[in-house]
Amino acid sequence: MNKEQRRERFKRLGTARTKAVLQKLKVLGNCANRQAYEYTEDEIEKIFSAIEKYLRAVKTKFHFTKEEEFKL
């Protein structure tokens, strides 16, 4: 697979997967309706803490993709 094919594949999959994540976040946002759901501030903090933690881990993969070989 050449460089241009890999780039186009990244753009295609990146776009589709980003849209899927955004859609899931929109659906999660529906849970904010206090007339339909009951929740505590602690539960909300746990949800967004988990999302933010995972988001940071995934973002890190894009910045540190090359593993350094150990040398003395």
Distance of alpha carbon 43 from alpha carbon 60, whole angstroms: 26
Does position 36 have pLDDT exceeding 70, yes or no? yes
Distance of alpha carbon 13 from alpha carbon 60, whole angstroms: 19
Number of domains in the chain: 1
Q: What is the pTM of this model?
A: 0.79
3-state helix, strand, coil in the chain (%, to 5): 75, 0, 25
Does position 67 have pLDDT exceeding 80, yes or no? no
Q: Is residue 31 part of a domain?
A: yes
In degrees and rounded to multiples of 5, residue 69 shows phi and psi of -80, 135
Does position 27 have pLDDT exceeding 90, yes or no? yes
Structural domain containing residue 7 = 3-63
Looking up tokens 């980003």 gives 18
Q: Is residue 13 part of a domain?
A: yes
- Which pLDDT band, with edges at 50, 70 and 90, does 69 fall under? confident
Contact (Cβ atoms closer than 8 angstroms) between residue 37 and residue 31 = yes
Question: What's the pLDDT at 43?
Answer: 98
